[in-house]
Amino acid sequence: MKRYLYVVSLIFLIFLASCSNEEHNPAEQLDTYISLWNKNEFMKMYEMLTDEVKAEYAKEDFVDRYEKIYNDLGIENLAISSTELSDKELSKAREEGIVTVPLEVEMDSIAGPIQFTYDITLHLVEEDNEEETKDWYIEWDPGLIFPDLADGGKIKIDVESPRRGEILDRNQMPLAINDIAYEIGVVPSKFESEENEKEQIAALLNMSVNAIDEKLNAAWVEPDHFVPLKIIPKSAEEKISQLLLIPSVTSVETTGRTYPSNKAAAHLTGYIGQITSEEMKKYPEGAYKESDMIGKRGLELFYEDKLRGEEGAKILIIKDNGDKKEETILLAEKSVKNGEHIQISIDVNIQEKIFSSYEGKSGTAAAINPKTGEILALISSPSFDPNELTYGISQSNWDALMNDKEEPFVNRFTATYAPGSVLKPVSAAIGLSNGTIKPEEGITINGLTWGKEGWGDFKVKRVSTTSKPVDLREAIIKSDNIYFAMKAVEMGSDNYIEGLKKFGFGEKLPVSFPFNASQVSNDGKLTDEVLLANTSYGQGEIEVSSLHMALAYTPFLNKGNMIKPSFLQEDKKGEIWVENVISEEDAELMQQYLRDVVTDGTAKAAKDEDFPVSGKTGTAELKVALDTKGHENGWFVGYPTEDQDMLIAMMVEKAENIGSSSFVAGKVLDILKDTK
């Protein structure tokens, strides 16, 4: 029995000894290496290399080379696989202590996909330890990064920037284009009066002398070097001429973004500027570089993805073949994709005419073709110079814009405002549709005020009285608040709100630009009769954008159908947004009344016998509280009576001292005459 136990123990010890000399399976070791590689764990990969490789390549060099190349080339989606070894191949590998396995390597880069096949060799090496174990180690060379690096070479990346798409009007006139610009700089050796010249340059370029000194003191600057300071647009001809009179100043022609309409279309086009760290976080990693320009507002921001395009890139391996001859090997290539042009329905001439008519006053306007729905102009005044913001604005100018009480950065054409009496034709149409209003039926109204029991001290006020019953025509041309308040209360809030919804209130405008939705009230309800009465003539809490106000008049010119706005040039024209808002008969009646407003009513400022215009005035009083006097926003919505091919909804803020709605009506007449 003891002899039997001895034999078993001996066999067990022999088994343990044999196990201690058992090496890893080379396939398992390779799988471990590949797994580390796929996860970019280069430090751990290095530990699996043979001593001979480690002697040739230091750990830091190995790791840094992989990390730099993979980072510079934007390597992602790395996938490495190997051919599975058969039992026969494994047996031979153990016997010979070496095995070579083909690898398939795939990855994505900034220049597109890269894939290659390369052999990897593993050696069975006796480890330096007491157990005298053996293991498999990798015989590495640079060909495992890319095969063409196996016997030397360096990687070069050529990046081609895309041309940003341009923004064009309906006639392909430029709103935002890539035009000649000038990089202004100085050559230090050409200073004749350095401090004086730097002060002149700083004043002309809207930058500080300290900022100029920082650029001049850069480590690379030599006396005869051109030191770039700022890029300015070609349109700044006078400024360029003044700069070039300074002895040290030189200019270099380059390409820049230019906004020919300047302030007139600034809120529409927006502008581009250097991307900020906060903006970079909004996009996938690597989508933008710190030096990239990006849309900041308006169309430049809204259509950034289309306008910017995609960089082209080439990844090259440069090899020295001796005698100063270089061989260039193309590893991967992605063609540049220039940005798409955006063509919109805006007519730049109309845009500039309407903007100029504001003469710096605050307000908003929208011009449309009421038959096709094409948006011809979108105005926000006051404004800012997008060229100045693109090429760098001085701190003092920036502060002036930010502190301006008229808020030039606010985009008024996307905002909503109380419409005042320009809403009355809409209220009339609602009453006609639901039967509350009968055109020939007159209402006897006594005095200048009217209110109901339970309304407390609140009274609806009108501007004039009459001894005759007030019918719909009289109420519209004389803009009678009491008539519309009475009719709104009579029809009730549900019927009135239903009518407003048919005109698109409370709904997002179907246009490919972000507008604020118009509202009926703050909570969307009109359960309070006082609020209902106020709303009927455009006061209360109702708010509408100038574009929506223009669209709300289109049923009168389209047999009762409200036209859908068309903004991009490829948008369909003449589509219906809401069908049968009012009847064709009522639409014709409203056309007549809108003409009568100009000939016999509140819009006589738009009267011109040689150029007939139809429309409606409106004054929205902005009160802080009841029985107080506030600023007045003057409105006019008008169109040429005969052609009916342009309709303008225009609002001027704080117009109480310049004629209010009459002033605006006169402006619209002038614009229509000038344009036609």
Catalytic (active-site) positions: 421
For residue 573, give the 3-state DSSP assignment. Answer: coil
User: Which DSSP state fits 337?
Assistant: B
Structure tokens at 517: 């939705």
Q: How far apart are CA 452 and CA 459, in angstroms?
A: 8
- Distance in angstroms (rounded) separating the CA atoms of residues 318 and 203: 47
**Angle 120-126-131 (CA atoms, 0-180°, nearest 5)?**
140
Nearest one of 507, 528, 524, 529 to 516, comparing CA atoms: 507
Distances (CA, A) of 314 to 113, 287, 318: 12, 17, 12
DSSP line for 70-127: HHHTT-EEEEEEEPPPPHHHHHHHHHHTEEEEEEEEEEEETTEEEEEEEEEEEEEEE-
Residue pair 620/418 in contact (Cβ under 8 Å)? The answer is yes
Token pair of 295 as six digits:
């849309």
Largest CA distance in the chain: 138
List the structure tokens of 142. Answer: 């640079």
d(CA 374, CA 146): 56
150: left (phi over 0), alpha (psi -120 to 50) or beta: alpha
**Helix (H) or strand (E) run with residue 352 in it:** helix 348-358
The CA distance from 298 to 304, in Å, is 10
Coil, helix or strand for 135?
A: strand
Which are the contacts of 86, defined by CB distance < 8 A and separation ≥ 6? none
Residue from 175, 425, 165 nearest 305 by CA: 165
